[in-house]
């Protein structure tokens, strides 16, 4: 038997789940309850990794403050989750399109149609990291349920060679990850245990990775001043829904009526943070912009002086 067989066979996600062995003879509701009970375990597994997630966030915020990028790299479900998280940052937090990026084995076509063989070669990950001119200010976050995906490990290897910080998010225990050759600076390993359907890592493993990515980028953006209280205030006015959401935000935060909020948004050139400061300091756009610049773009600091 070859080494890969032993490597895969030892993974927690490749074991039989004793709680779902009768799933093929269960009723529809019984199947749903089995899945739901297993899903409840995911958040608890993620909770145990908060210290490591905190370390990842601190590294990422430092990177952003030095004009660096967060780059996700993964294959299959993991790769798609990275691309999803990256693509949602600009409309949600007003980030530049290249501030958070996603790389997936097989290229963009693999987002919509599986290209399983593309993940088998470290060289592919190395070339993709080279292709975006990864540098020492960037952070590479590998996503691999098994912790052993060659494409991801190759990307991490190249990122480290270029002096950047590296993170690996996996869903098997730390000992297995290290044994399989991962050498990222930070390991985030919520151990979700066997899947409901053996090896189907789009299930609990995918859910765990999505939770971790939500935590990473949301916390990083909060620490960059992208929210006021718990409201996102750096959203981009890219469609009518977001324009109306921006008006509602101004109405809520500033205690004003619709027409005034609409006018305020117009006078701030569609920038919610600037509009809030204009209203709270009773000043014009230029003064509000200066107040934000002098407070590292944190609205609370700007309006409190």
What are the pLDDT digits (tens) for 255-277?
999 999 999 999 999 999 999 99
Identify the band that residue 157 occupies on the pLDDT scale cut at 50, 70 and 90.
Answer: very high
Distance CA 96, CA 112 (A): 24
Backbone angles phi, psi at 286, to 5 degrees: -60, -40
The pair of structure tokens assigned to 301 is: 């600091």
Domains of the chain, earliest start first: 8-223 (3.40.50.10490), 227-304 (1.10.8.1080)
pLDDT computed for residue 16 by the predictor: 82
Say whether pLDDT at 5 is over 80: no
Which one of the listed residues 29, 37, 49, 119 is annotated catalytic?
A: 119
Question: Quick check: 234 and 276 in contact, CB under 8 A?
Answer: no
Residue bearing tokens 């403050």: 65
Candidates 88, 262, 263, 287; catalytic one = 88
Mean pLDDT on 15-29: 91
Alpha-carbon distances of 177 from 11, 104, 147, 190, 272, rounded to whole Å: 9, 20, 5, 12, 44
Which of the residue ranges 128-142, 233-247, 283-297 would you say has the lowest mean pLDDT? 233-247
Phi and psi (nearest 5°) for 242?
-70, -30
Closest alpha carbon to 179 in 5, 10, 1: 10
pTM: predicted TM-score of the whole model, two decimal places: 0.90
- What confidence score (pLDDT) does residue 220 get? 98
**88 catalytic residue (yes or no):** yes
| pLDDT (0 to 100) of residue 117 | 76
Confirm whether 240 is a catalytic residue: no
Q: pLDDT band for 4, please (50, 70, 90 cuts).
A: low
Most confident residue range from 12-26, 109-123, 218-232? 218-232
Average pLDDT over every residue of 52-68: 98
Of 236 and 287, more confident:
287
pLDDT of residue 15: 78
Helix residue ranges, H only, 134-269: 150-161, 174-179, 204-223, 240-254, 258-267
Q: Which of 48-57, 140-149, 180-189 is least confident?
A: 180-189
Provide the pLDDT for residue 293: 95
Q: What is the mean pLDDT of the chain?
A: 93
Residue 6 has pLDDT above 70, yes or no: no
Whether the pLDDT of residue 202 is over 60: the answer is yes
pLDDT digits (tens, 9 = 90+) for 103-156: 999 988 888 887 777 788 999 999 999 999 999 999 999 999 999 899 999 999
Look at 63-67, 162-166, 171-175, 237-241 and tell me which has the smallest mean pLDDT: 237-241
């Amino acid at each position: 038997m070859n080494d890969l067989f032993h490597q895969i066979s030892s993974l927690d996600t490749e074991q039989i789940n004793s709680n779902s062995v009768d799933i093929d003879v269960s009723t529809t509701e019984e199947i749903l309850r089995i899945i739901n009970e297993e899903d409840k375990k995911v958040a608890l597994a993620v909770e145990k990794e908060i210290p490591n997630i905190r370390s990842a966030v601190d590294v990422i915020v430092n990177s952003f403050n030095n004009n660096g990028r967060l780059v996700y790299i993964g294959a299959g479900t993991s790769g798609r989750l990275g691309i999803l998280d990256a693509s949602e940052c600009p409309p949600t937090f007003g980030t530049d399109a290249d501030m958070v990026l996603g790389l997936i084995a097989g290229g963009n076509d693999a987002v919509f149609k599986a290209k399983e063989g593309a993940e088998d070669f470290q060289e592919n990950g190395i070339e993709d990291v080279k292709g975006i001119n990864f540098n020492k200010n960037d952070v590479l976050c590998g996503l691999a349920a098994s912790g052993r995906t060659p494409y991801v490990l190759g990307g991490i290897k190249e990122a480290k060679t270029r002096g950047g910080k590296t993170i690996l998010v996996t869903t098997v225990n730390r000992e297995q990850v290290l044994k399989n050759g991962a050498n990222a600076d930070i390991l985030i390993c919520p151990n979700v245990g066997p899947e409901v359907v053996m090896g189907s890592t789009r299930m609990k493993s995918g859910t765990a990775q999505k939770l971790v990515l939500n935590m990473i980028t949301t916390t990083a953006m909060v620490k960059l001043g992208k929210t006021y209280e718990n409201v996102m205030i750096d959203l981009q006015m890219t469609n009518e829904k977001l324009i109306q959401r921006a008006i509602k935000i101004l109405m809520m935060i500033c205690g004003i009526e619709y027409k005034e909020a609409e006018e305020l948004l117009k006078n701030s050139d569609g920038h919610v943070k600037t509009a809030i400061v204009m209203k709270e300091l009773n000043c014009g756009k230029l003064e509000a912009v200066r107040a934000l610049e002098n407070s590292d773009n944190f609205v609370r600091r700007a309006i409190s002086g």
